[in-house]
Amino acid sequence: MYDDPEQSWNVEPSGPLNGDVRVAGSKNAITKHMVAAMLGTSPSRLENSPAVRDVGMTAEILRSLGVGIDISGERGEVVTIEPTATPGSVVPLRFTGLNRVPILLLGPLLNLTGEAFVPLVGGDKIGTRPVDFHVDALRQMGAEIDVEPEGIRARTSGLKGTRITLPYPSVGATETVLLSAVLAEGRTVITGAATEPEVIELALFLQRMGAQLELRPDRRFIIEGVSELTGATTTLEGDRMEAFSYLTAGLISGGVVRVAGCAQSRLVTAINTLHSMGASFEITDEFISARADGLRPAAVQTDTHPGFMTDWQPPLIVLFTQAEGMSVLHETVYEDRLRYSGDVLKAMGGEIELFKTCLGGPACRFHDTSAVHSAVVRGVSKLQGTEVVIPDIRAGFSGVLAASVAEGPSLLHGMHHLERGYNHPFETFSELGLELRRDQG
């Protein structure tokens, strides 16, 4: 319904990429805000929404439950949610595997209807996204849950606040508990919570709706359940993944891309990493830009916030191929993200070796598994234009970056992945000077 696997881009290298990019709100925040808004008793308005396919998918999921959704504005930047007092409790199976929103609906539907069925989650194939953390948390809050072959079925006579310790600071599991605890009876304490900016943004929106919650310095959320939430209006913060990606596009091509719409505070670790590779920055309240006369290698480990985020890793790997020397990347969040990104770059001539051991940092939770989660990248690699199939959102952006500096044209298939997570990427790359042409079929 939403994927168009026949959509392809022809990319013709055309020199340095230069220009200005204004990023919209975070793709990883907008869909969670849409789910939160259905908990209100009055409409909510989300501004600065990105025009990404995940928004359309989430809108259709919520409409199937009886929630009113209106997407307006010149570029679809305003999303208005009209909650219903009697939502449906079953997310249809046609939404199986499209994105991760269904699992986040379990808690809200249990609070609103006392029962729920959601199909299996989807999203990029970058590693396991276990639902165990979500399910275990909801069971601790009093839900009866059956995990079936086609999805998850749950029921409750009323969710109760409790103490929940997450075994890993999972963003999705933290969001599930927040969305469930705000209307649960009593106090919920989340220990070991994720504190990514998008999680904090969701918590602030829930607070704006009337939720009673606080964040303690030791990764603890404390939520006092309330009987009712109201609608609210908010403007989404800029997408830090998209901002980093376009800064990288300028650096890798020898140009300068000025990125507006994303605060410096959301990019501290990314800026420091690029600085260590030889980039110099101009940073103002309005924009951030980076330039480099030459790139040095680096050793980088991804981690939960405030570490180097996993979504920054794929474009960084492309940048490594154009740095003089050997770089190391240690992925500690998703065990298969390196494999998919590496496949695209290796097909284009990138000199990348993948390893099951922990390189470039201390032993991580994958150290005694068969996960391929470390990479050594030799630069400068002479990338060659080729035909390749894109497997996920971030690898899609990385494929375009690599194609922009390759020798000869490239044909990139499966570009619906990129448009699921980036705001008008075709138009943005074109405005930066990259020669692109769409192919359908």
Q: Tell me how far apart the alpha carbons of residues 154 and 110 are, in angstroms, rounded to a whole number.
A: 7
Angle at 376 between CA 168 and CA 300, to 5 degrees: 45
Q: How many CB atoms lie within 10 A of CB 56?
A: 17
Angle at 26 between CA 22 and CA 28, to 5 degrees: 155
Give the residue carrying structure tokens 């400068």: 380
Tokens of 345: 């770059």
Q: Tell me how far apart the alpha carbons of residues 343 and 346 are, in angstroms, rounded to a whole number.
A: 5
- Given the residues 4, 54, 124, 311, the one annotated as active site: 124
120 touches 150 (CB < 8 A) = yes
Per residue, the 3-state secondary structure of the chain, as one string, reads CCCCCCEEEEEECCCCCCEEEECCECHHHHHHHHHHHCCECCCEEEECCCCCHHHHHHHHHHHHCCCEEEEECCCCCEEEEECCCCCCCECCHHHCCCCCHHHHCHHHHHHHHCEEEEECCCCCCCCCCCCHHHHHHHHHCCCEEEECCCEEEEECCCCECCEEECCCCCHHHHHHHHHHHCCCECEEEEECCCCCHHHHHHHHHHHHCCCEEEEECCCEEEEECCCCECCCEEECCECHHHHHHHHHHHHHHCCCEEEECCCHHHCHHHHHHHHHCCCEEEECCCEEEEECCCCCCCEEEECCCCCECHHHHHHHHHHHHCCCEEEEEECCCCCCHHHHHHHHHHHCCCEEEEECCCCCCCCCCCCCCCCCCEEEEEECCCCECCEEECCCHHHHHHHHHHHHHCECCEEEECCHHHHHHCCCHHHHHHHCCCEEEEEEC
Closest listed residue to residue 140, CA positions, set 216, 191, 206: 191
**Is 218 noted as a catalytic residue in this protein?**
no
**Catalytic positions, please?**
124
